[in-house]
Amino acid sequence: MKILIILGSESDIPKIEGTQQVLSQFKVPYDVVVASAHRNPKKVSQIASSAESKYDLIIAAAGMAAHLPGVVASHTILPVIGIPIETQALSGFDSLYSIVQMPSGIPVATVAIGGAKNAAILAVQMLSLKYPKLKTSLKALKHKMEKGVKI
């Protein structure tokens, strides 16, 4: 069990801290790689094409044009979860639209702008289909969240 997290820029590393925290909480190992769909297209292609032999799914975070998750998805059959990164110019809507508007046949599951924690939770939910021990941890998280709501 392992997840690949791929980012378009080193400046995005702080923006995925929530992803890393949640995956660590669930004891799901992951690797983080920086490769831009625009500046390193060959590297992205190579990483995505070879990912199936090492990983169960991919989380790709990108801002602005945010083509990274879609480019990654075009080179693999692994599920790809896209995290739109908030941007200064368009508040992340540019990132969201770039990730969520994928052509038929190249799906990218997309979380909210800045949804780093939800990307990790969605990834754990997907992994729980193959690794049932994660279901217990997910149920515990839901129970904890339920207890945290005051009426």
Confidence of residue 120 (pLDDT cuts 50, 70, 90): very high
pLDDT category at 149 given cuts 50, 70, 90 is confident
Confidence of residue 65 (pLDDT cuts 50, 70, 90): confident
The answer to which of 81-85, 123-127, 141-145 has the lowest mean pLDDT is 141-145
User: Which of 24, 19, 3 has the alpha carbon at shortest distance from 78?
Assistant: 3
Please report, as a single letter, which amino acid is at residue 74.
S
Alpha-carbon distances, residue 114 vs 12, 53, 54, 63, 137 (angstroms) = 10, 29, 26, 10, 24
pLDDT band for position 38 (cuts 50, 70, 90): very high
Angle (nearest 5°) at CA 49 between 92 and 115: 25
Q: How far apart are CA 75 and CA 139, in angstroms?
A: 33
Tally Cβ neighbours within 10 Å of residue 34.
15
- Provide CB contacts within 8 A for 105, sequence distance 6+: none
Separation of alpha carbons 143 and 90, rounded Å: 36
In the CATH scheme, what architecture does the domain 3-147 have?
3-Layer(aba) Sandwich (3.40)
Residue 33 has pLDDT above 80, yes or no: yes
